[in-house]
A and B are shown apart, each in its own frame.
Chain A
Amino acid sequence: MAAHTGVLPGFRLTLGYTLLYLSLIVLLPVAAVFGKTLELGWGEFVDVVSNPRVLAAYRLSFGAALAAAAIDAVFGLLLAWVLVRYSFPGKRLVDALIDLPFALPTAVAGIALTALYAPNGWLGGWLAALGVKVAFTPLGILVALVFIGIPFVVRTVQPVLEEFEPEFEEAAASLGASRWQVFRHVILPHVLPATVTGFALAFARAVGEYGSVIFIAGNIPFVSEIVPLLIIGQLEQYDEAGATAIATVMLVISFTLLLVINALQAWAARRGGKEQ
């Protein structure tokens, strides 16, 4: 990293500020988690995190978070597209609705979704007649995570689409590209990096989500028990080291996944740049 990075002075000051701020807000709490975990010996640590029930919860939490983020990526892109490209009555209202999952306390979201999807709820009763159970199954967890994750994709893709003039599409069409070719070779490369970022944000949010999931999950061990619930369980036993051990593994996996997603995003950005 060179000291000479631009026309504006103050590199040292800003770097110092960045490091201090990051340390205080992010690194210190994370370090406290790792520090607490160190109270356990290696053997105890392995015992806690390799418990079959904990492993099942990891599979569920990461699986559901990835699936929910993938669904959000597809439908978030679609939503952003509609909001940017078309104007229709009530568009402002729809646009504001997107942010609602951000603003709503997650417990309220969880209770509302459960009331809706429970076998005696509006949607749940109807789905139950079709033999589909949503509330109190892993499917319910997915529904909650899709709900809380959708604004992340829409809000990251929207500004990128707004900058993307329709002329590009028209030019491609006038050169004889089919609709699919326009989407595949003109639009997608342009919005893919932002979509991947939105995916990463939605995923990161979903992995740690507790409030909304706890009401709709059913919390049955090996079936619908998420990692954050196990962490709370450890705390209730006054086993803070055990709780942070489970959290540490979760942090490491999340961090690795986010690094991979970032690399993917950088690759997509480079590739998109080339194709343009």
Chain B
Amino acid sequence: MRFTPRSLFLAAAAALALGSARADVSLLNVSYDPTREFYQAYDAAFARHWKERTGETVTVRQSHGGSGKQALAVIHGLEADVVTLALGYDIDAIAQAGKLAPDWQQRLPQRSAPYTSTIVFLVRKGNPKAIRDWDDLVKGDVSVITPNPKTSGGARWNYLAALAWAHKRWPGDERKATDYLRELYRRVAVLDAGARGATNTFVQRGLGDVLLAWENEAFLALQESGPDTFEIVVPSVSVLAEPPVAVVDSVVSRRGTAEIARAYLEYLYSPEGQRLAAKHYYRPVHPQYADPADLARFPKLELLTIEDFGGWQKVQQEHFADGGVFDRIVTK
């Protein structure tokens, strides 16, 4: 661990947190923002399951925040047994810091993503601007709300979903695609730092005609504010957002929690884990285990994966790094 003031502080905070939880065994799951409700339910289910199987009492502690910031905290020494983040890129960064094996994504089924989501539109009731698909976002005076891809993992999925459509619409024409993105981001009224912030701007402050959002976040907003206020519009093309999970090797080998950490993540793929994911608006990778009523909420649409864009490292370099496409389109 590098000796920086921040890492010392985080280590101290983690030590305090560890000292306070005295169970048979404890796990720390470092996750991103919109998974709060899901993991609250899942942790209780896993604790029951583990008790039945081994007789051991397990306490799972949760930490939520922006995906990138959470990854940085782990890199700087936050003692996460498992990470469940918004993008593979963030877990790659932890792997690059030597905390887990570079092939982490191959260690669990479905590229280590037990549930997926996609990007949809949330519009105001009655869809007054008649928004049906991506091209409607750049028509007339439509104003768009999406967070900043530089500071938000969810925002990167939004950007890629728009790009996916543009590639489909103008195959092989990068210039047309870039022009489309430029026009789209010109219409962004508020560029929030995180996905929850953008949802609040749209829902609470009443700004913008359309919010680009995680499907699960859109459903949550709908559930919070009632069906009379908003509608979900599903575009023709979007991305398959795969929020991956991984065991942090260096932490579990020191704490002796390797077995239970692995079991914790594997249980996400079990019938109970899958059922809970679908209940909390995540698309389960094994739909046969989910409640059919929950499944009916997920419409079918064409979904591109991150591999269709060449993987996170390439996408990050090309689009979101300093001087990348995103910087160029906001610089005019």
User: Chain A: interface residue count, which band?
Assistant: 20 to 34
B205 touches A119 (CB 8 A): yes
Question: Is A29 interfacial (CB-CB < 8 Å)?
Answer: yes
Which listed segment binds B: A1-9, A144-152, A234-242?
A234-242
Question: Is B72 interfacial (CB-CB < 8 Å)?
Answer: yes
Shortest distance between the CB of B314 and any CB in chain A (Å): 15
A28 touches B5 (CB 8 A): yes
Question: Is B138 interfacial (CB-CB < 8 Å)?
Answer: no
The one of A53, A220, A225, A229 in contact with B327, judged by C-beta atoms closer than 8 angstroms, is: A53
Which listed segment binds A: B14-22, B185-193, B218-226?
B185-193
Question: Is B47 interfacial (CB-CB < 8 Å)?
Answer: no
Question: Is B204 interfacial (CB-CB < 8 Å)?
Answer: yes
Q: How far is the CA of A229 from the CA of B150 in the complex (A)?
A: 10
Question: Is A79 interfacial (CB-CB < 8 Å)?
Answer: no
B207 touches A118 (CB 8 A): yes
A233 touches B188 (CB 8 A): no
Which residues 4-42 in A have Cβ within 8 Å of B in the complex? 28-29, 32, 36
Scan B188-228; emit 1 where CB is below 8 A from any A CB, else 0: 11111100010000001111000000000000000000000
The one of B5, B197, B320 in contact with A237, judged by C-beta atoms closer than 8 angstroms, is: B320
Number of interface residues of B (CB under 8 A): 31
B5 touches A53 (CB 8 A): no
Question: Is B322 interfacial (CB-CB < 8 Å)?
Answer: yes
B206 touches A232 (CB 8 A): no
Residue of A nearest to B153 (CB): A236
Which residues 131-155 in A have Cβ within 8 Å of B in the complex? 135-136
A120-B206 contact in complex given A136-B190, A219-B190, A229-B193, C-beta closer than 8 Å: yes
A29 touches B5 (CB 8 A): yes
Question: Is B54 interfacial (CB-CB < 8 Å)?
Answer: no
A236-B151 contact in complex given A115-B204, A115-B205, C-beta closer than 8 Å: yes
A232 touches B188 (CB 8 A): no
Q: How far is the CA of A220 from the CA of B192 in the complex (A)?
A: 9
Scan A112-139; emit 1 where CB is below 8 A from any B CB, else 0: 0011001111000000000000011000
A238 / chain B contacts, CB cutoff of 8 Å: 68, 71-72, 75, 93
B150 touches A32 (CB 8 A): no
Q: How far is the CA of A232 from the CA of B93 in the complex (A)?
A: 16
Question: Is B244 interfacial (CB-CB < 8 Å)?
Answer: no
Q: How far is the CA of A242 from the CA of B323 in the complex (A)?
A: 13
Interface centre among B75, B190, B206 (most CB of A within 10 A): B190
B190 touches A220 (CB 8 A): yes
A236-B204 contact in complex given A218-B190, A219-B148, A219-B190, C-beta closer than 8 Å: no
B322 touches A48 (CB 8 A): yes
B192 / chain A contacts, CB cutoff of 8 Å: 219
Q: A115-B204, A136-B189 are in contact. List 16 more A-B contacts (CB 8 A).
A: A32-B5, A53-B330, A118-B206, A135-B205, A218-B190, A219-B190, A221-B331, A222-B330, A229-B193, A235-B69, A236-B150, A237-B68, A237-B150, A237-B316, A238-B68, A238-B93
A-B residue pairs, 4 tightest by C-beta = A236-B68, A233-B150, A120-B206, A118-B205
A–B pairs, 18, beta carbons within 8 Å: A53-B327, A53-B331, A118-B204, A118-B205, A119-B205, A136-B207, A214-B193, A218-B189, A219-B192, A220-B190, A222-B331, A233-B150, A235-B72, A236-B66, A237-B68, A237-B150, A237-B321, A238-B72
- Seen from chain A, the residues whose Cβ lies within 8 Å of a Cβ on chain B are 28-29, 32, 36, 48, 51-53, 114-115, 118-121, 135-136, 214-215, 218-222, 225, 229, 232-233, 235-239, 242
- Seen from chain B, the residues whose Cβ lies within 8 Å of a Cβ on chain A are 4-5, 66, 68-69, 71-72, 75, 93, 148, 150-152, 188-193, 197, 204-207, 316, 320-322, 327, 330-331
